[in-house]
Amino acid sequence: MKKLIAVLLAAVITAGIFAGCGKGATGVELKWIDNPSSKEEYMNNAKIKSLTQMGNTYRLKKAIEKAQKGEDVNIVYLGGSITEGDILDLEDRYAKRTYNYFRDTFAKGKGENVHYFNSGYRGTGSKLGALRCEDDVLSYEPDIVFIEYAVNDGGSDSDKDGFESIIRDCLEYKTQPAVILLFARMQDGGTSQDWKKEIGKHYDLPMISYADGITYLFDNGAMKWEEFSGDYTHPTAYGGEVIAGFINYFYDEVNRLPAPEADVAMPERLFDGFYENAHLLTKNSYELTDETKGSWKKGSTGDHFPNGWTKQFDEANEPIVFEFTGRHAYVVYPSAGSDSFGVLVCKVYFNGELVATKEFDEHVQGGWMCSTIGELHKSFEAGEYRIEITAKDSNPKCDLQILAVGYTD
């Protein structure tokens, strides 16, 4: 009888230890190895190195609980080409690998309740990400949002403002998603992670620096750049596996550690909020009349922005006109890299007064038809906008596209 009781007690203790561990989670804490002697041991240390900050994981714990109960969980990835990953097969991309791990580890049954949304877009940074946030992140009712822009952003205040605006828009959304920051680097070490880490600390967000993780591996001869990337920045299939290993380690740590008692309180913003609460006007959300469409027709050729407007390729140069109420106004246009493209001329009226005339050259050497954001006007008070857009008079017969017009409340 004593032996039976001992066995039952051991079973109860074991169940208690592993209660809350997912199907794929180890529940074992990784320890730093002072003198690693194998690639596995170096990778162990790189995972630890990559975890910049656990942050407040209250929301992520809630998302895990939802997945375990069989409730729908939506995971959204926002970033540039590293996140988009279109040079790789779907299953080799870091985003899909980490979605698979979360689903297989935490979801109930076969994981049909966990959903994947990749909103990565090559060649774009945080400012356009903030304008896209409503349509390409929040519309999916996210429970978890990854933000990756460390090699696409520079260090301007507007880049920092755009990055913070994405964070605030997500944190304040009704689904209360967990926000996780992911930091990349280029072959030459270029990254904007230093200032992004400061913003992440301000909001007490989880932060994963695969930049720091792979740098440790390079510095110790445990991995070569050519293994990680086939060019100057984009991961290979193996590189995607390495990045996913860092993120999955973070998931294991979240699962292993107790949940915080409360969600983090929203702090004051660090920057102006010029990109916060942004909206995009496209042909799907904004209807032009015969009087306001001018010499333009519906549709554009950008794969991420197919619902804009295109100027007719002739001498006609009547303006396309947009009218709306907002504080700050932007235009999204392609960097085409083609001799046939011309220059957008934007006349900006605010509360009936011409406040700016801006020009944006769509013929950019080396352009990849990436989307570029042009700032039209900023106001701390909302007002009535009228935006008139034409081709430059010196070259009216040209290709021109407006991918979207953006504004903030």
Asked whether the beta carbons of 147 and 193 are under 8 A apart, the reply is no
Owner of token pair 């430059």: 392
Q: Could you state, in order of their start, the residue ranges of all structural domains in the chain?
A: 25-256, 278-408
In eight-state DSSP terms, residue 90 is G
CB contact at 8 A, 196 and 53: no
Whether the pLDDT of residue 163 is over 90: the answer is: yes
Give the model confidence (pLDDT) of 207-236 as tens digits.
999 999 999 999 999 999 999 999 999 999
Report the distance separating Cα 220 and Cα 43, nearest Å: 11
Model pLDDT for residues 354-367, shown as the tens digit of each residue = 999 999 999 876 56
Render pLDDT for 27-57 as a digit per residue (tens, 0 to 9): 689 999 999 999 999 999 999 999 999 999 9
Instruction: Return the CATH superfamily for domain 278-408.
Output: Galactose-binding domain-like (2.60.120.260)
Q: Compute the distance between CA of residue 233 and CA of residue 235 in angstroms, rounded to an integer.
A: 6
**Which stretches of 54-113 are assigned E, i.e. beta strand?**
73-79
Phi-psi group of 100: left, alpha or beta (phi > 0 → left; psi -120 to 50 → alpha; rest → beta)? alpha
Cross-strand pairs, 298: 309
Which among 373, 347, 140 has a CA at the least distance from the CA of 278?
Answer: 373
Q: What is the pLDDT of residue 284?
A: 84
- How high is the pLDDT of residue 302? 74
Q: What is the pLDDT of residues 312-323, one digit of tens each?
A: 888 899 999 999
If 0-12 CB within 10 Å is exposed, 13-18 middle and 19+ buried, where does residue 294 land?
buried
**Residue 283: what pLDDT?**
84
**pLDDT at residue 312 in the model:** 80
Instruction: Please state, in angstroms and rounded to a whole number, the distance separating the CA atoms of residues 353 and 351.
Output: 6
| Neighbouring-strand partners of residue 375 | 330
Return the ∠ at Cα 83 (arms to 23 and 39), rounded to 5°: 60
**pLDDT for position 182:** 98
Per-residue pLDDT band for 162 (boundaries 50, 70, 90) equals very high
Question: The domain 25-256 belongs to what CATH superfamily?
Answer: SGNH hydrolase (3.40.50.1110)
- Cα distance between residue 321 and residue 244, in whole Å: 46
Token couple for 260: 């915080």
Phi, psi dihedral angles at 51 (to 5 degrees): -85, 90
Q: Where are the beta strands (DSSP E) in 35-177?
A: 51-53, 73-79, 114-120, 144-148
The per-residue pLDDT for 15 is 38
